[in-house]
Amino acid sequence: MKKFLFLAALAMFALTSFSQEKEKTGFQISNLALEVRADFDYYNMKQDADATDISGFSGKYLNFKIAGNITDRFFYAYHQRLNLKGLDTASDFFSKTDYMYLGWQATEWFALSAGKQVVAMGGIEYDLAPIDVYFHTEFWNTVACYQFGVNAIFKTRDKKNTFTAQFTNSPFGGEGLSGLYNYSAHWRADYKHFGPVCSVNFYEYSDGKFLNVIALGTAFSFGPVYGYVDYTNRASSGQKNLLFDDMTIDGRMGVYFLKDKMSVYVKGGYDVNKAQGEEVLASNSLDEVYDHFILPGTDITFYGGGVEFFPMKGRQDVRLNAFFAVNDTRCLTEYRDGIFCFTKDKLTYQANVSLTWRINFIKR
């Protein structure tokens, strides 16, 4: 009932404020684009005495996006993945929609938005578009990061800081009406050398039980040197140690040269969850597991490096990338068909070449 009253009050505030404004017509498309990425992958996986090689070409991403203004107050954004299977029903289609929301710019410094949105969580790896992430943490791979809900967005007058208060479905709730919710406070900034993206999140994993996520990340750039570093801590009130037992650390550093037409980079990361022991896994139930992103027992390190080439001067709409990465899985815990499954002592070598192109029909 409290959630309903909160939403009703928010809607009433928006309607009352809007009724005092005279809206100007002025539909505009500020961004209309098609994004494509195709990859060649080679995997060499070693576990126990066995070794497996897998390789081949694949289309990783095919995205359509459009954004702009309906009037001088209302704005919209829509991003659809087109290359995923299972678009037989309307619900399937929405599940493949990354974000689709309508916003109202109440003032120069305050806005509201509603619809399917990106869950407001910090960290640069999480913040990047998936098409721009080559190899990644296990945490990045498991987050259900697009949910229906509402945002309240505040900007400072110098426009260097943006604060977002968010109320959406919980990432742990699946596609149905689970009654589980997410409450997030998010900060994004743009300074000369640093671009912090940080948040405090409360994800409901069971009725009245929450996983707290503190996600701290910042991008940096000093001349041709660029990169980012992230720290994400996950904890529940029932946990003995609230810090460092369940966390993800990752970072990337690169250097541009040849007049920014080429970049060489390295990246690495670490996922671990030792907040809960074997006793919680013995039940084969998720009911008492705090963290549904990185399940108890998981311990993974990855690292690698690569090179990007941008053949178009001053633009990155066409990109050729190649990388080599190592994934050292000491233990990966997964929940499949009602039981916990474990992958242990698996070493994976990955070599990849990808071609990405963006067709910007409209870009303002």
pLDDT at 12: 44
Q: What is the pLDDT along the chain (364 residues), one digit of tens a residue?
A: 445 444 444 444 444 444 444 445 578 999 999 999 999 999 999 998 889 999 999 999 999 999 999 999 999 999 998 876 554 555 566 777 899 999 999 999 999 999 999 999 999 999 999 999 999 999 999 998 999 999 999 999 998 999 999 999 999 987 678 889 999 999 999 999 999 999 999 999 998 899 999 999 999 999 999 999 999 999 998 888 889 999 999 999 999 999 999 999 999 999 999 999 888 888 888 888 999 999 999 999 999 999 999 999 889 999 999 999 999 999 999 999 889 999 999 999 999 999 999 999 998 8
pLDDT at 287: 85
For the chain, give the secondary structure using H, E and C.
CHHHHHHHHHHHHHHHHHHCCCCCEEEEEEEEEEEEEEEEEEEEEEECCEEEEEEEEEEEEEEEEEEEEEECCEEEEEEEECCCCCCCCHHHHHHCEEEEEEEEECCCCEEEEEEEEECCCCCHHHHCCHHHCCCCCHHHHHCCCEEEEEEEEEECCCCCEEEEEEEEECCCCCCCCCCCEEEEEEEEECCCCEEEEEEEEEEEEECCEEEEEEEEEEEEEECCEEEEEEEEEEECCCCCCCCCCEEEEEEEEEEEECCCCEEEEEEEEEEEECCCCHHHHCCCCCCCCCCCCCCCCCEEEEEEEEEEECCCCCCCCEEEEEEEEEEEEEEEEEEECCEEEEEEEEEEEEEEEEEEEEEEEEEC
**pTM (2 d.p.):** 0.90
pLDDT at 8: 42
pLDDT at 212: 97
